[in-house]
Structure 1
C-alpha cells in the first residue's frame, strides 16, 4: 500500500516512492500487453524494434531494458523511449514505428504504452486534483507494426498542430510528491473551435477529402472533450461510440487509451465484414498538441 493508514495520509508518499512502485509494476503490465499482442502472429525473437511510451514514470535503465531482460529479447534489439509527452504519445510512437518500417523492410516493431496514472494521486482538494483522480486510470496496450505487405490495417499519414494559446491549460509537472496535472475547463472550448479545421487540414495533407473518413478513433480525454468534437464535426455520440465505451469502462489511461479505441474499431470492422475502411485518429496533450493519424483497412 503506497499510502500510510493515517487520516491525513501523512507522511505523504514522495516522488521517489511512487517511481519505485512504477519500476516494480510497469514492466509486468507491458510484457502482458506485448504477449497478448503477438500471440499467434510473431515469435518474440522476431521483434526487431521496441518503442516504449509512458508519461507516468521513468528511470534509466528504464522500462525498455526491463522488458528486454524479462522477455529475453536479443541484445541487438533497437529501443526507443517516448517519455512525458502525454495522452497523444501513442500516435507519436506509431509515427516512429512507421518510419522504421519504411526504412527497414523486415522490421517488426512493438509499440507498448503503459501508464500508471493513479500513482500520482494528490490529496489537496483542488479542482485539478479532483478532476485527475476522477478521470485518469491505469492501463497498458501494445501494437505490432510490420514492414511486410499485409492485408488489413495500414498507416497512411500523420499530421499535427499545436494551439499555443492553450499551453497553460493542459500541463504535467514534476513535484516532490508525484506528477501534477493541470487540465482547465478551457480545453474543450479549444478543441471545439479547432477540431473541424484540424480534420480538414490533416486530410488535405493526406490528399484525401474529409468525407472519406468512415471511423473516428478519438482519444477519450473526457466526456466534455468528446462532446466538443461532436459539435465541431456536427456528428453524433454514435460516431464516437468506441471512445465513449473505453472511457466508461477504463477511464482515461493517457497514452494507452487510443490503442484500446483502435482495437475496438478494428474488431468491429472485422465482425461486420466491412471490405474497406478509412480511420482518422486524434489525441491531445500538453502544448496544446493535437496529434493525428490516418489509416486504412482493406
Structure 2
C-alpha cells in the first residue's frame, strides 16, 4: 500500500511537471516572439534553465512534518496523590519541621491541584521513605513503556520503521540511558539514532519536537521519529526545609507523553496534525533568568530545585522577548501591522510600550505552559487571554498537576476529549524551562477530533471545566 501510494505521488509529480513545461513553453514562446528572439535554440535553452530551477526548488524545499499520533500516560488509580495521602506521607517521613509542613499545606491548597494527581511508587511504600534508584527506574519504565506501547498500537507503526528516538527528562539521566531503555524494550533496529535531552526543565517537550522538526524538514533518509517526553520525581523529591525548594513537592506530579512524527508524504491521510512552525529562544545570558529555577543543595546538603520569587516576573519578561521573534511568523497581516507600528513607536517614544498582539486571531486553540497557578495567570495577563482560552491549562493543572514538559500534550488531549478540534484549526503550544528557555510549536489539525481509547481524560472529562478553580 505504501509503495503504491508513493508511485501515485511520483506519477502525479511527473504529470504536473509536464503540464508546467507546456505552460512555460507557451509563455516563453509568446514572450520571445514579442522580443523578436525567434531563435529556437535560445528559446529551448531558456526553457531548460527554468525547468532546472523548478526541479531544484522541488528537490530542495523543506519536507512537511506530520504528527501521526500521540499518547499520554495515565497511572493506575492506586497512584493518586490526594491531599490526605500527601499530608500523611509528609508526616510519616519525619523529615520536615512543623513550619515547613504548614508552608507546604498552604502552597498545596492554593496551587490549583485537585485530588486526582499521580505520584511515583515510593510515596506509597512503607519503611524507608527515601527513593532509591530502582524506584526512579520503575517510574521511568511505567510512564515510557505504557505511552509508547499505546502509541505504536494506535499508529500501527512497526518499531523497525523508527529511524530516530529522542527522550527528554530534565532531572534523571541513568546509565544505560533512557533512550537505550526504549531501544531494548521496543527491539529497535541497530542503526536507530538516539538522543537524550536533560536539564531543560518544562520546556524540553517543545524543544524536543523542535529538534525533530529541524531534522525531518531537511532529511531524505530519516522518516520516522519517536519522541518521549517525561520527568522523574523519585530521586528529586526534596527532604529539607528550604521554602524555595519545598514548592516543587507541592506542584510536580507524574506524567509522560509519546509522539511519532514523520516526513513521509504517504502518511498525510492518516496523520493527526502538521507542524507548521517551531521556535526556541534562550535567555540564559541574563543572570536573573538563569537563576530563576536551579537545582542545588540547601544548607544541610539536601538537593532540591529552587524556584525563586522572581520566576513569574522572569517568565513574563522572557515571554515578551520570545513574542518579538514569534509574532511576525504567525500573526495575520492586520495584527502584524498594528504590532509593528507599536514596536516602532516604543522605540521612538520611551514612554510607549509595544501592544500585545491578539494571538486568538492566529490560533483557534492555545496550550500554554502549566507551571503553576501563578504562571498561568501571568501568561494570561501578558497575552491578555480570557479564562476561556486558559481553561485547558487550568484544568490540566487541576487534574494532573505540573507534569513538566509533557503537560502541553495533556492539554491537547483535553481539547480532543471536549471535541473542540476541527479540520484546519491551528494550535499554539507554549512552554518555559530552566535556563531560561521559551519554546513554541504551531500545529494545523488535519481532521476533526475523534475518540481515542487511551485519552487520559475519558473517565473524567464530564466534570470539566470546573466552576471554581
Normalised TM-score (structure 1) = 0.86
Residue 127 (structure 2) pairs with residue 7 (structure 1): no
Describe the shift of the 1:178–1:256 C-alpha distance in structure 2 as closer, same or farther (beyond 3 A): farther
Equivalence map 1:121-160=2 (5 Å): 121-149=237-265, 150=268, 152-160=272-280
Shift of 1:69: 0.9
Match of 2:322 in 1: 198
Q: Which runs of 5 or more residues in structure 1 are unaligned? A: none
CA distance in 1 between counterparts of 2:318 and 2:142 reads: 39
Match of 1:37 in 2: 151
CA distance in 1 between counterparts of 2:416 and 2:260 reads: 14
Match of 1:296 in 2: 444
Q: Which runs of 5 or more residues in structure 2 are unaligned? A: 1-88, 97-126, 337-358, 447-469
CA distance in 1 between counterparts of 2:302 and 2:255 reads: 18
CA distance in 1 between counterparts of 2:314 and 2:405 reads: 20
What is the count of residue pairs matched by the alignment?
291
CA distance in 2 between counterparts of 1:144 and 1:173 reads: 34
> Quick check: which has more Rg, 1 or 2?
2
Shift of 1:12: 7.7
Root-mean-square deviation (CA), in Å? 2.8
Match of 2:50 in 1: none
Match of 1:63 in 2: 178
Q: Cα deviation per residue 1:52-94 (whole Å; 9 max; x = unaligned)?
A: 1101311232111111112222222211111121110011110
Match of 2:402 in 1: 252
Matched residue SS, 1:76 = coil
Match of 1:49 in 2: 164
Q: Aligned to 2:282, which of 162, 168, 176?
A: 162
CA distance in 1 between counterparts of 2:440 and 2:159 reads: 29
Residue 313 (structure 2) pairs with residue 226 (structure 1): no
Q: Cα deviation per residue 1:206-257 (whole Å; 9 max; x = unaligned)?
A: 5755431221111200010000111111111210211112111111111121
Contact 2:135 2:234 in 1 (8 A): no
Equivalence map 1:265-284=2 (5 Å): 265-268=415-418, 271-272=419-420, 274-284=422-432
Describe the shift of the 1:139–1:8 C-alpha distance in structure 2 as closer, same or farther (beyond 3 A): same
CA distance in 1 between counterparts of 2:428 and 2:306 reads: 27
Equivalence map 1:203-222=2 (5 Å): 203-206=327-330, 209=336, 210=359, 211-222=361-372
Shift of 1:154: 1.2
Contact 2:144 2:257 in 1 (8 A): yes
Bigger shift: residues 81-90 or 279-288: 279-288
Match of 2:467 in 1: none
Shift of 1:200: 4.7
Contact 1:90 1:259 in 2 (8 A): no
Match of 2:386 in 1: 236
Shift of 1:129: 2.7
Match of 1:113 in 2: 229
Normalised TM-score (structure 2) = 0.56
Describe the shift of the 1:104–1:261 C-alpha distance in structure 2 as closer, same or farther (beyond 3 A): farther
RCO higher in structure (CA 8 A, sep ≥6):
1
Shift of 1:172: 2.6
